[in-house]
């Protein structure tokens, strides 16, 4: 099929951009011809091109997987499916088309029928180095400098090496994940780290939610009950309580995390579900 992906922007690489890259790459591996459109492509065009995903501003397509309601009249298509990534007004369902939520919270908010969770390329995101038996290296994939400042203080007190990434673009983030023993972040960054066999603490500091929030040290019980794709502000953290989460570290949990991602968030299964709903 000729398939078009759309997204509000292509750079920097965040949740929906990573979604497009993972889904598009898997579709190409299956023999589909995949293009992408964005009104704000910025520096993202060559990043997607390396996966074989061509940037276009017009064309005819069998299927459009639409993010952020940015499709224009320059495109003609047989079927359009809208992907709802969140609960802000820009993510509201499109009348007259199939709408799919990326997690249960989004589904409930918009009253939708279908959920297809985030998918991770477990071949790209895999362990190339084992985590240490004790924590030495801590990676932050948090989106805010406020979160990184909190983690910097904790790591200094514990004498850990710390690598913050807020405000940076790291397209090959799997290399940094494999440098680390444990990873902080929320949402898709947690799944990327889990797929690389790392223990993860779900945490960030976004003022519009709460200065320090997240699900904490992830376990199968937390993962199975989560409805927010690991973005939920279920716990509020102080420096002291967040530091205590590091005491739960067990490198074997990283192996369990990868097995969970393979079973529940494998990009192959996710694309199977997407295509089934697009028929």
What is the pLDDT confidence band of residue 134, given thresholds at 50, 70 and 90? very high
- Could you tell me the sign of the dihedral formed by the alpha carbons of 117, 118, 119, 122, in that order? negative
Of 228, 245, 246, 227, whose CA–CA distance to 236 is shortest?
A: 245
Q: What distance, in Å, lies between the first and last C-alpha atoms of the chain?
A: 12
**Whether the Cβ atoms of residue 110 and residue 93 lie closer than 8 Å to each other:** yes
**pLDDT by residue (tens digit) across 70-126?**
999 999 999 999 999 988 888 999 999 999 999 999 999 999 999 999 999 999 999
CA distances (Å), origin 199, targets 13, 126, 137:
23, 13, 12
**pLDDT by residue (tens digit) across 27-40?**
999 999 999 999 99
Q: Which two tokens stand for residue 96?
A: 């007259």
Predicted local distance difference test score (pLDDT) of residue 87: 87
Cis preceding-peptide flag for 83 (omega within 30 of 0) = no
């Amino acid at each position: 099929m000729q398939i078009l992906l759309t997204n509000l922007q292509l750079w920097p690489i965040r949740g929906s951009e990573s979604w497009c890259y993972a889904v598009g790459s898997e579709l190409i591996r299956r023999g589909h011809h995949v293009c992408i459109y964005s009104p704000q492509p910025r520096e993202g065009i060559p990043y997607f091109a390396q996966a074989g995903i061509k940037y276009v501003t017009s064309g005819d397509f069998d299927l459009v997987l639409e993010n952020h309601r940015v499709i224009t009249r320059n495109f003609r298509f047989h079927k359009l499916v809208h992907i709802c990534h969140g609960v802000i007004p820009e993510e509201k369902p499109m009348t007259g088309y199939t709408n799919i939520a990326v997690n249960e919270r989004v589904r409930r908010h918009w009253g939708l029928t279908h959920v297809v969770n985030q998918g991770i390329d477990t071949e790209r995101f895999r362990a190339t180095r084992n985590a240490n038996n004790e924590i030495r290296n801590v990676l932050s994939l948090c989106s805010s400098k406020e979160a990184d400042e909190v983690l910097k203080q904790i790591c200094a007190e514990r004498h850990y090496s710390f690598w913050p990434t807020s405000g940076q673009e790291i397209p090959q983030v799997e290399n940094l994940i494999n440098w680390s023993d444990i990873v902080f972040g929320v949402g898709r960054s947690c799944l990327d780290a889990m797929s690389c066999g790392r223990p993860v603490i779900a945490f960030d500091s976004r003022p519009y939610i709460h200065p320090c929030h997240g699900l904490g040290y992830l376990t199968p019980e937390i993962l199975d009950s989560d409805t927010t794709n690991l973005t939920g502000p279920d716990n509020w953290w102080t420096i002291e309580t967040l530091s205590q989460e590091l005491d739960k570290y067990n490198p074997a949990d990283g192996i369990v995390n990868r097995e969970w991602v393979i079973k529940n968030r494998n990009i192959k299964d996710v694309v199977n579900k997407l295509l089934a709903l697009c028929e």
